[in-house]
Structure 1
Amino acid sequence: MAISAEDRIAINDLIALHGHLMDAGELDRLDELFSPEVVYDLGDFGLGPLQGIEAIRDAAIALGDRNPVGHHVTNVILTEMDEHAVQVRSKGIGIQADGSSGSVVYDDIVQRGPGGWRIAYRKVTARRTPLTA
């Protein structure tokens, strides 16, 4: 069964909402993004997997002024797993307060629940090495 246009729009909006909420510090709205049992894997940054919305909120608060001032997402690709789960791969660009930037890949599993689509799993991988032949 193909992902409907309506679901594609909802999932793309979900992925985009992450940057808006994080950049605005609206951490009380993370339940609009994540399932309660979310696993947020930041192992590539030395933090390991965070489990649950509260752990994500606590990590963002602990990072303080080292948080990016801008989270920008692009290149969103959806692959249906089943009628209630979709694999999402996207690229992120983070802008720091000093103007430096970094690139990441987000590998997500989003699931449809009573409140709509939510991220149930996210792995963030830093892009540190350019393409070499």
Structure 2
Amino acid sequence: MTLSADDRLAVHELIALHGHLMDAGEFDRMDELFTADVVYDVTAFGAGELRGHEAIKRAALALGDGNPVGHHVTNVWVTEDADGTVRALSKGLGVNADGSVGSVVYEDTLRRETAGWRIAHRNVKPRRTPLHP
């Protein structure tokens, strides 16, 4: 499969939607973002792999006021492997209630489903030091 411009735009919009829904606490709309069998890997933050929409929702609710007040995504790069696997690499900024900011890299594997593109696997990696040669 070769990704069309429409596919690429749909993936970009999907990744952008994540911050809007999470910041608004619209967890009942996670099916618009993720496959039903999504693996959301936050091992680097000590939370392991969250499997499915309910696990992501529970983790966000448990974090409570520790959640960022704003998730911002930039530098989205969409690629397609030789076997047709679609991946996106993006940078995320989380603005916290105290004004501090954290930076992450999102490594996504995407799947086109009947309802459109969805994230099937997301690995969230914090950026804590500059330059990783």
Task: Tell me which interval the TM-score lies in, with the shorter structure as reference length.
Answer: over 0.9
Instruction: Give the corresponding residue for 1:52.
Output: 52
Provide the rounded CA distance (Å) in 1 between the counterparts of 2:64 and 2:6: 36
Deviation at 1:103, TM superposition (A): 0.3
Q: 1:84 & 1:31 partners in 2: Cα distance?
A: 23
> CA–CA distance in 1 between the matches of 2:132 and 2:65?
34
Task: Name the residue aligned to 1:114.
Answer: 114
Q: Which moved more, 1:2-11 or 1:102-111?
A: 2-11
Q: Which residue of 2 aligns with 1:62?
A: 62
- 1:115/1:6 Cα in 2 relative to 1: closer, same or farther (>3 Å)? same
TM-score by length of 2: 0.95
Give 1:83 deviation, angstroms.
8.3
Q: Given residue 75 of structure 2, which amino acid in structure 1 is its aligned partner?
A: N
User: Which residue does 1:103 correspond to in 2?
Assistant: 103
1:1-133 equivalences in 2 (<5 Å): 1-81=1-81, 85-131=85-131
Partner Cα distance (1:64, 1:73) in 2:
21
Q: List runs of 5+ in structure 1 lacking aligned partners.
A: none
Cα pair 1:70 1:95 within 8 Å, conserved: yes
Task: Give, in angstroms, the shift of residue 3 of structure 1.
Answer: 1.3
Q: Could you list the runs of 4 or more consecutive aligned residues of structure 1 that deviate by over 6 angstroms after TM superposition?
A: none
Q: Displacement of 1:65 after TM fit?
A: 0.7
* 1:132 shift after superposition: 6.9
**Residue 76 of structure 1: CA displacement?**
0.4
SS at match of 1:129: coil
Deviation of the 1:131 alpha carbon: 1.7
Where in structure 2 are there 5+ consecutive unaligned residues?
Answer: none
Distance 1:39 1:84 in 2: 19
Q: Flag the 1:82–1:57 CA change in 2: closer, same or farther, 3 A.
A: farther
In the alignment, the residues of structure 1 paired with residue 30 and residue 56 of structure 2 have an alpha-carbon distance, to the nearest angstrom, of: 9
Q: TM-score, normalised by structure 1?
A: 0.95
CA RMSD of superposed structures (Å): 1.6
